Amino acid sequence: MATLTQSYVHGASDVPLIGETIGAHFDAAAARWGERDALVVRHQSIRWTYGELKARVDAFAAGLLALGLEAGDRVGIWSPNNSEWVVTQFATAKAGLILVNINPAYRLSELDYALNKVGCKALITADHFKTSDYVGMLRELAPEIDRSAPGRLQSRRLPTLAALIRIGSDEQRGFFRFDDILDAGGERHKAALEALAPKLQFDDPINIQFTSGTTGMPKGATLTHHNILNNGFFIGEAQKLGDRDRVCIPVPLYHCFGMVLGNLACITHGAAMVYPSEGFEPLATLEAVAAERCTALYGVPTMFIAELGHADFKRFDLSSLRTGIMAGSPCPIEVMKRCVSEMNMSEVTIAYGMTETSPVSTQTSADDPLERRVATVGRVHPHVEIKIVDSDGRIVAPGQPGELCTRGYSVMLGYWDDAEKTAEAIDRAGWMHTGDLATLDAEGYCNIVGRIKDMVIRGGENVYPREIEEFLFRHPKVEAVQVVGLPDVKYGEELCAWIKLKPGENATEDEIRGFCKGQIAHYKIPRYVKFVDAFPMTVTGKVQKFMMREHMVKELGLTEQKTA
């Protein structure tokens, strides 16, 4: 690569973009690798070939049409990792339905918002996961469920939602069973599915993923077949995946990390998808890698830290590992080095991106020198452009920090039903403004050096303080609140809330956390709560969050984490 004279790079490539829908590409993969392992779900004792997976995908897609769903309708999925999630991902794509990923950690107010924001007509849900009683929460939001026949819900709070599909074998009032939908499609529905395929276009929206914003409520990033299928393919290319690779995927499927970097990278290369457990468990992950002879392992840094630190780590044979991806939050350099030396991941890669860009924009490759792979987020992906700009929008010199902007096939269509926020994120020239501060060196390697927005990344989950602040403002004793991220050895960052109470009021830390419990996801609940009389302010009245952060780091004796 030529030496850069300005911070702009274009991922020129002689490998063309895939110009077909996910459904068409999946069918071709099943025809090519029909007898090879496609999906291994250890906690469900499932092992399906590509041919077997395709049969279930086609049956479920026909069943969704039998429910009366039509191309463009939104179908939510609220579940941890399982085989049903994968079947749903590819079946909705084949039926032209828009899959709406709902975070398994969501609670009542978040679920209510997500379902109504995009107008879901159907919801596929697990029964429960960890401390979340999904069915119970749905009944609390829509008590009409108990008086409804399956597929005929009429709820005051969830007016567009008609069909509830429950993952599980026992019957419950108001819910279809997942297997009922597998069996629902007749010959005419299968014929309709076949006739629909050539009508679907690869630029059609196919997926909505919620990403929190600085304005508070989550925004629905709307992605196309073209966005995520191609991103998955080039992610797999960077790892040199092939049809003999077996990818261990302990990361959540509701997130791009699982469904794009995981599932779509696999099906575009004929690799096997291996799920060790419903949610991340370090022991289950190590067991899966060893037993299934996985060649690739994915995770956010906290996952790799937990695996390396497990008491039984040394008893597992991880010699089959070759590559994988560490992403989701800043990657500690020492952890990357240990993955190479102790987990045999000699070709491990780091990826950087955001949901709005499908998600990966830069990635290290197996051919990059080790120092580049542990200390940068790699170079621009094929068919993607990147520029680093100053506050006036002008491209800066190599090595100078500025906002990272990206453009190309991977940029989302926009935020669902939110033209104003879309226009704030994507400018007239098509550049997605990430809000991340970055540098490009003379050889085009990218480093993330900070964030323009005050986003907190806790264990790979993006959390925007404004959303938490707005929720805490609902507490009757709270007059004002500011939330910042503090460094944390385990999660990278943890939330800290500074709260000013109304005159004459008293509250405890436990009271504030109790107010959050069951209403917002567990990872959004502040670990630290400090009651204050005032916030540090500028002369113009702006809160100086950096001073709050510095104060708490000193007061709590915290240590900043060295990251790539």
In 3D, which of 92, 89, 82 has the Cα closest to residue 62? 92
- For the chain, what is the radius of gyration of the CA atoms? 23
Q: Which residues contact 411 (CB under 8 A, 6 or more apart)?
A: 227, 356, 357, 358, 426, 430, 432
Least confident stretch, 181-190, 213-222, 352-361, 437-446 = 213-222
pLDDT digit string (tens) for 159-168? 999 999 999 9
DSSP 142: -
Give residue 213's pLDDT band: very low, low, confident or very high (50, 70, 90).
very low
For the segment 93-110, the average pLDDT, to the nearest whole number, is 96
Structural domains of the chain in order of their starting residue, each with its CATH number: 22-35+51-200 (3.40.50.980), 220-382+393-451 (3.40.50.12780), 458-556 (3.30.300.30)
Give residue 540's pLDDT band: very low, low, confident or very high (50, 70, 90).
very low
Neighbours of 15 (CB within 10 A): 10
Whole-number Cα distances in Å, 461 to 86, 102, 282, 332:
21, 13, 18, 16
In 3D, which of 516, 478, 484 has the Cα closest to residue 497? 484
In 3D, which of 405, 408, 409 has the Cα closest to residue 425? 405
Q: Which two tokens stand for residue 104?
A: 């398994």
In 3D, which of 350, 343, 353 has the Cα closest to residue 316? 343
3-state secondary structure of 497: strand
Which residue is listed with tokens 């794509």? 93
For the segment 420-425, the average pLDDT, to the nearest whole number, is 96
Determine the longest span between alpha carbons in the chain, in angstroms. Answer: 71
3-state secondary structure of 103: coil
Predicted local distance difference test score (pLDDT) of residue 302? 81
Mean pLDDT of the chain: 94
**C-beta of residue 25 within 8 angstroms of C-beta of residue 50:** no
DSSP 191: H
For the segment 314-318, the average pLDDT, to the nearest whole number, is 98
Q: Which residues contact 210 (CB under 8 A, 6 or more apart)?
A: 101, 102, 103, 114, 218, 219, 220, 221
Least confident stretch, 291-295, 413-417, 490-494 = 490-494
Q: Which two tokens stand for residue 511?
A: 């009271």
Whole-number Cα distances in Å, 158 to 103, 116, 122, 448:
18, 6, 11, 40
Predicted local distance difference test score (pLDDT) of residue 300? 87
Give residue 29's pLDDT band: very low, low, confident or very high (50, 70, 90).
very high
Q: How many CA atoms lie within 13 A of 124 on its CB side?
A: 33
**C-beta of residue 468 within 8 angstroms of C-beta of residue 438:** no
Q: Is the pLDDT of residue 563 over 70?
A: no
Predicted local distance difference test score (pLDDT) of residue 331? 75
Ramachandran angles phi, psi of 191, nearest 5°: -65, -40
3-state secondary structure of 528: strand
From CA 281, how far away is CA 405, in angstroms rounded? 35
Predicted local distance difference test score (pLDDT) of residue 562? 56
Predicted local distance difference test score (pLDDT) of residue 549? 92
Give residue 561's pLDDT band: very low, low, confident or very high (50, 70, 90).
low
Predicted local distance difference test score (pLDDT) of residue 538? 57
Neighbours of 526 (CB within 10 A): 24
Q: Which residues contact 402 (CB under 8 A, 6 or more apart)?
A: 7, 388, 389, 390, 391, 396, 437, 438, 439
For the segment 245-253, the average pLDDT, to the nearest whole number, is 97
DSSP 489: T
Q: How far apart are the first and last CA of the chain?
A: 22
From CA 351, how far away is CA 361, in angstroms rounded? 8
Which residue is listed with tokens 């004459």? 504
Predicted local distance difference test score (pLDDT) of residue 463? 84
From CA 472, how far away is CA 456, in angstroms rounded? 17
pLDDT digit string (tens) for 352-405? 999 999 999 999 998 898 888 888 999 999 999 999 999 899 999 999 989 999
Give residue 560's pLDDT band: very low, low, confident or very high (50, 70, 90).
confident
**C-beta of residue 209 within 8 angstroms of C-beta of residue 234:** no
Predicted local distance difference test score (pLDDT) of residue 214? 39
From CA 385, how far away is CA 523, in angstroms rounded? 33
The strand pairing partners of 542, in sequence order, are none
Give residue 84's pLDDT band: very low, low, confident or very high (50, 70, 90).
very high
Do strands 176-177 and 163-166 pair parallel, antiparallel, or not at all (unpaired)? parallel
For the segment 215-233, the average pLDDT, to the nearest whole number, is 91
Q: Is the pLDDT of residue 423 over 60?
A: yes
**C-beta of residue 213 within 8 angstroms of C-beta of residue 359:** no
For the segment 445-453, the average pLDDT, to the nearest whole number, is 81
Neighbours of 252 (CB within 10 A): 24
Give the DSSP letter string of 250-306: -S-TTSHIIIIIIIIHHHTTTPEEEE--SS--HHHHHHHHHHHT-SEEEE-HHHHHH
From CA 314, how far away is CA 190, in angstroms rounded? 50
Q: pLDDT over 90 for what percent of the chain?
A: 83
Amino acid of residue 272? A
